[in-house]
Structure 1
């Protein structure tokens, strides 16, 4: 949504009662939308695509392509709901090959944090059949929007009364903002997914604090024209607090 007030106005116009609107807005989370198209109104925070700059000894995982590099120090403090590092760079990698149901949840190296001041070298695309040419490099600018869960999200599913109100008043449908996707990375917030969100069955009581959504993107699939990969980077909350990004997981689904 563009703001709490725009959501409230749209929901009121559809006859949604105030208590249901208040419930929806109580679940809203800030989400940073990093896009080349926000150059006029956003904060410069990194780069989409291009080649990764990595420290010596850190390998570029086979089959994963660089999606974005984020300058943590440039992110506004309230850009999203995550306790991200305050310096260095976060590099996000994903697969663009047949990602339907694709999941890497054990040291996938899909997210790499390079601390500030670490010497790095830009790596060329590996000379193998598992990598495509690098995504076109474009600068990223951050803007923050509040976002809502949908009825299949963990914030809604475990709570019968919350789920009833979401279903009865279709609370997620009154968010009139369409997320940007071309050459864009979303940090934090809730998952936008053509199917059920990828983080299911987790809660704050789970071991290591349950799963949090780090980021999401949508990518074209060169081997399957007309299909799009929805990519989600997730991490358990205790691992995020410890800065252990090697524990981040990568979940992908595809749609036509």
Structure 2
């Protein structure tokens, strides 16, 4: 959503009662939307596509494509709901091939934190990489918006009283967020998925081990024209707090 007020106005116009509106807004989490334009006050925070710059001894997983680099120091402290590093760069890698179901790829080296000041060199695409070229490069500008869970998210499904109101008033469809294909990368917040959200929960106490959404992107699939890979980088909350990005997992869904 653009703001709680715009959500309230849209919900009231649909006749949604105030208690349902307030319930939905109580679930909202801050989420950073990173796009290629600085419209609406976007802050330059990184780069999409191109080739990654990595320290000596840090390898690029040759099964993955480089997606984006985010300058943690450039992100506003309240950009999202996660304890991200305050400096250095987060580099995100993902596959642009058809995934085998909704499988979690753990310890995939899909997220790398490069500490501030670390000497780096730009790496070419690995020799054994797929034939896909590097993603087209453009700058990334960040804006922070409240995000709401979908009706399939644990924040809704695990609570019958919330779920009933969500379905009765179509609360998730009143979220006037940007269209997914207009956003190069999401940080934090809730997952927006063409199918059920990836296997993770919405709180550190849930039965799914405290997995949270670190980032999300959509990628064209060169070997399957017309299909898109929706990729999610997820991590357990305690591993994120410890800065252990080697523990991040990668989940991918393809859709037409």
User: TM tier, shorter chain?
Assistant: over 0.9
Larger CA deviation: 205-214 vs 5-14: 205-214
Q: Are 1:163 and 2:145 an aligned pair?
A: no
In structure 2, the partner of 1:136 is 136
Alpha-carbon distance in structure 2 between the residues aligned to 1:208 and 1:241: 17
Q: Structure 1 157/102 Cα, relative in aligned 2: closer, same or farther at 3 Å? A: closer
Q: Are 1:184 and 2:177 an aligned pair?
A: no
Larger CA deviation: 5-14 vs 105-114: 105-114
- Root-mean-square deviation (Å): 1.7
Alpha-carbon distance in structure 1 between the residues aligned to 2:54 and 2:149: 35
User: Runs of at least 4 residues of structure 1 off by over 4 A?
Assistant: 200-203, 206-209
Equivalences for residues 1-256 of structure 1 within 5 A: 1-38=1-38, 41-101=41-101, 103-182=103-182, 184-200=184-200, 203-206=203-206, 210-256=210-256
Matched residue SS, 2:176? coil
> Which whole-Å deviations, capped at 9, do the CAs of 1:162-195 have from their partners, x for residues lacking one?
1111011111111123334246101001111111
* TM-score with structure 1 setting the length: 0.95
Q: Structure 1 233/16 Cα, relative in aligned 2: closer, same or farther at 3 Å? A: same
Q: Structure 1 132/183 Cα, relative in aligned 2: closer, same or farther at 3 Å? A: farther
Q: Structure 1 169/40 Cα, relative in aligned 2: closer, same or farther at 3 Å? A: closer
Which residues of structure 1 form unaligned runs of 5+? none
Quick check: 1:90–1:114 contact (8 Å CA) kept in 2? yes
Quick check: 1:51–1:124 contact (8 Å CA) kept in 2? yes
Query: Aligned-pair distance for 1:202?
Result: 6.6
> Which whole-Å deviations, capped at 9, do the CAs of 1:34-79 have from their partners, x for residues lacking one?
1112356210000000101111111100210010000000001111
Say how many residue pairs are matched.
256
Matched residue SS, 2:22? helix
Alpha-carbon distance in structure 1 between the residues aligned to 2:24 and 2:39: 30
